[in-house]
Structure 1
């Protein structure tokens, strides 16, 4: 028999809560959760609007901007993995050959932006140079050139740009990217390779491309044939994005033409353009920016934003929106003439119209030349003529740079006393809040409450179905199972009973499916598509202890698509919002514990709580315990050993590793570890004194 369960002494208050809560419904039938895909789409739209509305919103005058500009620049460096900036060592520039056609000479060269990080390049210059010339760094998009299994680099694909600049009085350095160059590194870590640990490290190949570009400017400035005060940058698609990174962080750039390299956060997240872009197009959005913030850092230097009107991955409306917002900053400087917007007809192609405008922009701002462009950008050289290496060097780090580019956190000394641990824990939590969980709602301390209680009473148990508002639009399920035969604890001296311990279980999708197969025994109407399992139900009640089931977003009724590609780009959308799925699931669990804490007496849950999880849910439970004071014990089964093997959290490996997090947890709660990797955890605990208190689950 189903009855509405109102556990408080003030039923009027409950009715008010039911009316005000977005979880509420008009009748007493079970709440039907929105479709998971629609719900996550609504969430992305709300969060994107939040970031878009606040982008540059607090800048009212030039002083507002100039007083915060350096802070924003440091934030961008941080999000590119360049804070602190790597050491500028010797470039070891090596010219491996020259080719000439007409009045254009190409130097085939390579340099090392850091030891072993080779950058292959072609430098185009006039055959005769009488004085230092303006220079242009051309950063390539994704233009793969492979013949007979040999990669010649995307510099070959874009050679016509370098040739035009050389024929018109420039030195032009065209550099390969770490992917699609003569070395074939990786841009597709999260896009295709499932390297979600890149987020844990705060790594993006955009940072490497930005770093290589700054070192390319070092190379140009060191040349006798280059005027070091007249250097510009341009490139399209991926090269458009790298033009933005370089122009924003390096003020040596005196003119910039990013082509098809930027659009709004709304286009990427809400409209789904993220699915057309690899990881090099994005900073790790720790500080939760919209892209006009990047553009604003170029002001007041000459900047031409260039795009076509039918570019499916850089849509017109987003490009126009970025221009409109950055125009505000140029107006504050009184430098509106230094900002241009060029929109030509066409798709995402390297069209002649785009080239001509870029050439004229560089002529105007690097040569003070307004004459008409009367030469066409054409390819002058055969592919094989432009290859730099006969054989790739064995000491190269291009193909593995993602392993080391952003350093992991290291402890100078592991805490050996509770006092040392307390000091470190405070520092760790502060950094986690700033670098990992900055995407949590600002009202994280707001009191939570449960709503929409429904109770099913049986001979063997009571089941209470409830919901709680975690973060709009997410209203999440919380289920309490109270066996009729409740376990009691008895003290030896007083022979008095105390409240039974409570098991609070964090579910992943597999756990939800299994749990609801048991719940379908008692409420088949609620789970009509689930095959009831009496065995699972018996397991849920056999301990005699109350059990609370928590299903964070993306699990159970809020599960989104199971299509692997769609799930990949959902995860990437979270990253673009300065969040991750796991990070927000941790927030959901913390919110659930807060909501449940207000009902300990109402539901006879006054006993000590054990928070448990298995596999990835163990990781979620461990992190949630650090932000909750409701937990007495943690039970973690198959807990991953390292961040790299865990769900992704932004920058977490820049703060601490899982053993340090576990050490922090053991100072507050009792920890039990079990499962398939228990032996590995035992080994780690043996070398860490403060992990000696861990209890081990007997298999």
Structure 2
């Protein structure tokens, strides 16, 4: 029953009861006015979003599931004017004003979620990459584009002027010896009172130079930033990857995301969802590489980086801005229609550089250095071979190095850093950093069985309960902002 019908019914009842008509007339006028406003341009045809979604369910014969916090208290102007004959288009029109969207949730079922600025429809992502690529038609024009992008990225990260290195030595725990490799934990102060923590894996033995030459052979360095999987650098497959690369002859390091792992002693997990996290993680990686390259056995001509998911985004970004990195392997991350769903990947205006860029163009900045992209059929890298990878091949071909970019696509796999992805990385790093793949092979197959999985607490620098955190450590995001602002002045 409509508002004016309720009012009319009340008027009849009032007359029968012999009551005064004034209150009812007031009700009639107010109800009719409310109805008229919500059903005319005077009230912008405004309706509660919750009611609109219920009406769409009835109108199109679908189910629309929405969390109360996403729709409560929201009113939609020109509500019915946003309807179209197609339910998907209708839902898009209705939810867009609130930065909401829907995802398919079964047959004729939808789920309302927040708008994802970082996730584009495939066709739109491809079209944007084509627009970006149309700006350069040869190597000279591309090199000019790179020279424009790199300083812009550093400026977007607020790292055009790197903060002074704190005058402190890294905190390193005693080595733990395993079969073919050792592990020690490390904390590096990257800003006054702010540390990045990680674990360094080293070959158990470093070969002497050939032909009796004095000294020891130089050892390649591999950074291992990681994604947002549970347990991060403490989880088994991360330990396995770093240990295997160490057994092959590299010094490898895995390190905490900002606000994760031991970083949680200083900051809350919610701080990781703030844009400055992208800057702090980048600064952390730069400082880690600074330190590793001071090691006498480190080979500055053989520096690699590999990471999965958000760590893959970090791999691409670091390779684009730091020319010390010579070999890169982003895993299950790079896509022209995915910009990174965490602020640590897309929180700062990096992708606004050069009139707009994306992860494919940043990946192209690695050329002509060797690069492996691992993709799969269960995430946003699912169509890498179709459009994105040919773009990278074209960019590498301008250097006469098309063979230096490779793609291992695993269409039946999902978003992880499983054995097949690790195998691809091992073989790629062995080839391009001159590592000993035979150290982890058995009968021609990768054999990770000799690798120990350590307890999480064994990988801490600051003690089981953080009791060894230095006294001058800052705590809280507000204090971090103050320290960072002072450091970049």
What TM-score do you get using the length of structure 1 for normalisation?
0.46
User: In 2, distance between residues paired with 1:188 and 1:336?
Assistant: 42
8 Å CA contact retained: 2:374, 2:421: yes
1:159-178 map, 5 Å: 159-178=239-258
2:222 to 136, 139, 157: 136
Does structure 1 residue 290 correspond to structure 2 residue 354?
Answer: no
2:291 to 219, 234, 253: 219
User: In 2, distance between residues paired with 1:337 and 1:302?
Assistant: 8
Does structure 1 residue 367 correspond to structure 2 residue 434?
Answer: yes
1:155–1:242 distance in 2 versus 1, CA, 3 Å: farther
Aligned to 1:534: none
1:114: how far off?
Answer: 2.2
Aligned to 1:261: 333
User: In 1, distance between residues paired with 2:246 and 2:461?
Assistant: 19
Aligned to 2:92: 37
User: In 2, distance between residues paired with 1:48 and 1:227?
Assistant: 38
Aligned to 2:190: 113
1:19-168 map, 5 Å: 32-33=81-82, 35=90, 37-38=92-93, 40=96, 51-90=128-167, 92-130=169-207, 131-145=217-231, 154-157=233-236, 158-168=238-248
Aligned to 2:282: 210
8 Å CA contact retained: 1:106, 1:125: yes
1:298-309 map, 5 Å: 298-309=366-377
Q: Deviations over 1:226-262 (max 9, x none)?
A: 2121110011112111111111111111111111122
1:190: how far off?
Answer: 9.2
User: In 2, distance between residues paired with 1:70 and 1:405?
Assistant: 30
1:99: how far off?
Answer: 1.0
Does structure 1 residue 279 correspond to structure 2 residue 343?
Answer: yes
User: In 1, distance between residues paired with 2:307 and 2:445?
Assistant: 19
2:308 to 226, 236, 245: 236
1:69: how far off?
Answer: 1.2
Q: Deviations over 1:266-304 (max 9, x none)?
A: 346xxxxx6xx3211224233322222211111111110
The SS at the match of 2:283 is helix
8 Å CA contact retained: 2:186, 2:197: yes
1:319: how far off?
Answer: 7.0
Structure number with higher helix proportion: 2
Does structure 1 residue 403 correspond to structure 2 residue 471?
Answer: no
8 Å CA contact retained: 2:182, 2:201: yes
Aligned to 1:578: none
8 Å CA contact retained: 2:260, 2:269: no
8 Å CA contact retained: 1:93, 1:112: yes
The SS at the match of 1:183 is helix
- For this pair of structures, how many residues does the alignment match? 357
User: Could you list the runs of 5+ residues in structure 2 that have no partner in the other structure?
Assistant: 1-78, 84-89, 102-114, 208-216, 439-443
Q: Deviations over 1:101-120 (max 9, x none)?
A: 23321122111122222011
1:172–1:370 distance in 2 versus 1, CA, 3 Å: closer
1:364–1:405 distance in 2 versus 1, CA, 3 Å: farther
Does structure 1 residue 181 correspond to structure 2 residue 261?
Answer: yes
User: In 1, distance between residues paired with 2:333 and 2:240?
Assistant: 19
User: Could you list the runs of 5+ residues in structure 1 that have no partner in the other structure?
Assistant: 1-29, 146-152, 192-197, 269-273, 413-699
Aligned to 1:353: 420
Aligned to 2:454: 381
1:243–1:140 distance in 2 versus 1, CA, 3 Å: same
1:216: how far off?
Answer: 1.1
Q: Which deviates more, 317-326 or 159-168?
A: 317-326
User: In 1, distance between residues paired with 2:243 and 2:197?
Assistant: 17
The SS at the match of 1:376 is coil
Q: Which deviates more, 95-104 or 75-84?
A: 75-84
